[in-house]
Structure 1
């Protein structure tokens, strides 16, 4: 477990500690935390401390980008942690724990993952343990690790196209792909079609292995009215893919374990 190589937390730590607990939007979307902008495409990227990496993770759940709500939650966590925690890694781990798919989205996510029997492959009674006692098995992350806003609103992942915009593509490759390289070929669960497209691109360009991607998984947001239909249509194929992925990984362990000790 560690801090992402691209982390900027040291640069912003003191600024975050100095903020008042009552966080208004204008405090967050402020020049002080603006990382980059593409004026032509009306994109802005702001800093938020989502830089903790669980290198031991067996499962990586991938969204598009943290939204304003998650950004606010991450800042509040840092402010509250400043009295008790001094270690950067501990603070960033606390941020990650406090912002992993809260509310109905988490419930929907767990329901679908349990239907796919993922918990059985991990030796759990339910995937809800990934968000409590078995959190050491999961990494929750985003293709774009920092909050991205398009025309002042949360970026949805479609307009502009992530792979055709050089600014966004740079963050996908330099941050997300680098984060994955620090792990041992985990199962990657893309939340929605836009995430799947980017993961396919990374697989085609040898950043990740294509057989580790659970394609067909819908975004668990309550606002995604197509999620039930999409899940139903892809359920059997996803169950089969999980079987293949875990069987292959198990055979790798056996093969490695049979090597003579030096």
Structure 2
């Protein structure tokens, strides 16, 4: 395992008064990992890697709220006397996929057969008794802010030298520990980044599950159609049913092939 940055930041996290950090601009300079032009990267205790994971859920980057939640949980764990491994596990899982996004996400994975590949009844158990099978991750492990605001995936990560370097430094390190896992991109910008990383030899292209609609409430129509809960003729003009059909068929075929090769 690579050396953890946490050992350098432990005392800084303990001393930090989170009540005084109301915006990204308030994050103390001691947490700055790097800056280039409008972009800044800040440390978050997200170094815990579940090397037994078979599914890696990949977002863009932690946002400011997630940064605060993670540091708050790390402080709580340290105050309770937890060891470094426990602190890092708890910090990374703090708030992951809570609320309405979780049932949509589970239903999408089950719809293409991920649960069958894992040998479980439903991906719902990935958030309790089968949590050992999943790693919640981000292409950019540490929060990225652009002009003091959350980075949202635009401009594309692979087109920016600063962001490319961060992907290769942190995400590639994580991926090396999970060579046989499935990678589930949360959104188009993450899909593009994972494709670029596959081209760099960081992950296997056949292990990326492209085409799942993002499970957020804002994407409700696409999710409903993908899951067969809405008829094609009732779709609004903003939803391309034919494209979703093709994505679903491709994902089912991909999972069938992976299941056959187990």
Give structure 1 stretches of 5+ with no counterpart: 251-262
| 1:15 aligned residue | 12
| Unaligned 5+ runs, structure 2 | 224-238
Separation of aligned partners in 1, 2:244 and 2:65 = 26
C-alpha contact 1:47 1:147 (8 A) present in aligned 2: yes
Match of 1:45 in 2: 41
Q: For 1:1-262, what aligned pairs fall within 5 Å after superposition?
A: 5=2, 7-20=4-17, 22=19, 24-26=21-23, 29-39=27-37, 42-159=38-155, 161-224=156-219, 227-228=222-223, 229=239, 231-248=244-261, 250=262
Measured after TM superposition, the shift of residue 29 of structure 1 is 2.2
- Alignment TM-score, normalising by the size of structure 2: 0.85
Report the Cα distance in structure 2 between the residues aligned to 1:226 and 1:7, rounded to whole angstroms: 42
Change (3 A) 1:156 1:128: same
Structure 1 runs (4+) deviating above 4 angstroms are 229-233
8 Å Cα contact 1:116-1:239 kept in structure 2: yes
Against the structure 1 CA distance between its residues 246 and 218, is the aligned structure 2 distance closer, same or farther, given a 3 Å change threshold? same
* 1:56 alignment partner, SS class: coil
* CA positional deviation for 1:72: 1.0
Residue 59 of structure 1, CA deviation: 0.7
- Give secondary structure in 1 for the equivalent of 2:218: coil
User: In structure 2, do the counterparts of structure 1 residues 72 and 48 end up closer, same or farther at CA, with 3 Å as the change threshold?
Assistant: same
Deviation at 1:193, TM superposition (A): 1.2
CA distance in 2, matches of 1:233, 1:62: 22
Q: CA deviation at 1:22?
A: 3.7
Q: How far did residue 103 of structure 1 move?
A: 1.5
Cα distance, 1:155–1:86 mapped onto 2, change above 3 Å: same
The Cα of 1:233 is off from its aligned counterpart by 4.5
Alpha-carbon distance between aligned partners in 2 of 1:37 and 1:204, rounded to the nearest angstrom? 26
How far off its partner does 1:38 sit? 1.4
What is the deviation of 1:111? 2.0
Q: Please tell me the root mean square deviation across aligned C-alpha atoms, in Å.
A: 2.0
Shift of the 157–117 alpha-carbon distance from structure 1 to 2, 3 Å rule, reads same
Please state whether the residue corresponding to 2:212 is helix, strand or coil.
coil
Aligned partners of 1:107 and 1:194: how far apart in 2?
22
Cα deviations across residues 106-158 of structure 1 (Å, max 9, x unaligned)? 22211211222322222222211111110110111000000111122111112
2:230 corresponds to: none
Residues matched between the structures, number: 243
